Structure formats: C-alpha cells, structure tokens
Amino acid sequence: MPDRFKSTWVPVPRSPTERWKQAVSYEVGMLPDELDDFGVALKRKFPGGIIYVAPMHPPPKWESAAQPIQDNLEFSVKGKRFDSFMEAGLATNQAHALFRFPWPDEFETGDKDSMLNDREAIGRGSHQDYRRMGRCFQISWSGRNTEFSPHRFREHRDSGETLDCEFRFITSSIKISIHYDAEDAEVVSFLHDVENVLLQNTTCDFASYDPCTHEIINPNRQDATQRRSLGMVRYASLNDHTYFGWCHRNGRPPEVMGPRPEVRAAFRREAGLEP
C-alpha cells in the first residue's frame, strides 16, 4: 500500500498458512472536538455504520477462547450502539470505540448486531470468523481535551549566539486499527474507503520553522505520512509558537512543522488577528 499515512503494520501471521491475516493502524493528528465530525463523515460514506464499544475483558488469568462474554460488564455496554464516538467515550469513560459497516444481508435481515462482541477473539479465528467480523475497525483518541507537549531548551548556534527556545506541539491524535482478511476483496475495498475518508479530512501540507526564532525556513513542505486535520491547522495558526512536531530535531538550526504562511494568515485574518 502507498505511504499515505503514519502507519504501523502488525505482523499478525504466525505460520505460512495464515498469511491472509493482516493488521494495520493509521494515526493522524486530530482535535477531540473534531472526532464527531469525523464520525459523521464515516457514516456519510458508510450509511448504516454502527458505533459501539467492545465488552471489557475479564482479567487475563481467567481469559480463554471458549469463555463466553460476561453479562455483568462494568459499563453495561454489551450490544449498545452510540450516535457518536464521543458519546461512546463519555458513556464508558474510555477513549476508544469500534465502527462496523454491516454486510448487505445483515441489513436485509435486520440482524446488524452480529458483530457487537469480542473483536479480538474472532480475530484469532478462521476465514469465516474474519468474514463475520467483516468491515470493522477500532478507533482510539487522545482524550476529551486538546493535548500539548511543551518544549524549552537553550540552543547554541554556529554563529556563537545562544538562544532560549520555548514552544509547544499539539499532540492530539486519533488512531484507526483494523484486523482483516487480505484475501477478502470487500474488506480490502472497505479499508481503502476508510483511508480515503481520512485523506479527505486531513492535510499533509506544512511549512518548517526555526523553533527558537519562529522564522520560516521552508514555506512549502509536504510529508504524506504526516497528516493533520483542519482543526489542528487552525489551532496552530491562532496560537503563537504552536507547532505540529519535529521536522529535523538535529538540524542546524532545528526545524519544526507548522501551518503554511498563507494558511496561517488566512485563519488569523478570519479571527480578527494580525497575520
């Protein structure tokens, strides 16, 4: 697959006969208050998609593949659907949920709940189990509030000048993880559609800045694996000395990623701030 995201491929197969089992996770920068808008975009692409929360596992020493799912779950969310990811998170005090696009026959029969159960247990199974798991992924997010990573250090430049550097990175993100059957064309197509929804709701364009002087180094940088939402770009534009992350930590000078100058200026004008 093309490098369009910051991706982590998980080596699921444990034997040559199980190479059809695959797993991948995609991480993109996104603010918590954009999470539900992203859910709306998913439901627009996948009408009838279900948001739910996986039942909690019993302690590992009690866990077995044959053990049925307990009914007395701590949050009593077994089989419960939610209107949004944030609603699911607030109801369960968790920062993750599941999204599933049922199969056509499930829509026809009305049995859309066939997968509201233990995704990981099914993931250890056969082609038929993966098929039953179907078009399903887990989404996790940073939390309810925008998260930051402050940085402060002293930089000694080649010119002999010493600068005190102070800035922060926005670290809020979402991660989508999916276990799937690589031989199931419909699931692979679903995965590509999920990728496209992510692409439509994020950008990989940025500029690089000197974190100490905050001057622009390169106004037109791009990295397809570093994707961020419009909300993150707007937030960094409206808040001084706020960036996305490192571009070159050991550069001379070091470089950080931030909004492109023209984008930053547009957001600031819109907010009534000096460009």
Taking the model in full, what pTM does it have? 0.81
90 and 128 together in one domain: yes
Q: Which residues, 6 or more positions from 244, have their beta carbon under 8 angstroms from its beta carbon? A: 29, 169, 170, 206, 226, 228, 232, 236, 256, 257, 258
Whether residue 92 contacts residue 144, with contact meaning beta carbons closer than 8 Å, is answered with: no
Length of the chain measured in residues? 275
1 within some domain: no
Encode 186-202: b = buried (16+ Cβ within 10 Å), e = exposed: ebeebbeebbebbeebb
Residue pair 194/137 in contact (Cβ under 8 Å)? The answer is: yes
Q: Based on the domain organization, do 23 and 134 belong to the same domain?
A: yes
Confidence of residue 74 (pLDDT cuts 50, 70, 90): very low
Q: Is 182 found in the same domain as 265?
A: no
- Least reliable range by pLDDT among 21-35, 79-93, 102-116, 153-167: 102-116
- Tokens (6 digits) for 111: 């049995």
Q: What is the largest CA-CA distance in the chain?
A: 74
Q: Are residues 33 and 104 in the same domain?
A: yes
Asked if residue 62 and residue 30 are part of one domain, the reply reads yes
Query: What total number of domains does the chain contain?
Result: 2
For the residues 146-157, what does the mean pLDDT come to?
89
Provide the pLDDT confidence category of residue 93 given band limits of 50, 70 and 90. Answer: confident
Average pLDDT on 170-191 reads: 93
Asked if the structure places residue 211 within a domain, the reply is: yes
Q: How confident is the model at residue 94 (pLDDT cuts 50, 70, 90)?
A: confident
Domain enclosing residue 124, as ranges: 6-145+171-202
Residue 28 lies in a domain: yes
- Same domain? For 20 and 123 the reply is yes
245: pLDDT strictly greater than 90:
yes
Residue scoring higher pLDDT (195 or 125): 195
In a domain, 156, yes or no: no
- H-assigned helices in 82-141: 85-92, 104-109, 119-123, 127-133
Q: Are residues 137 and 22 in the same domain?
A: yes
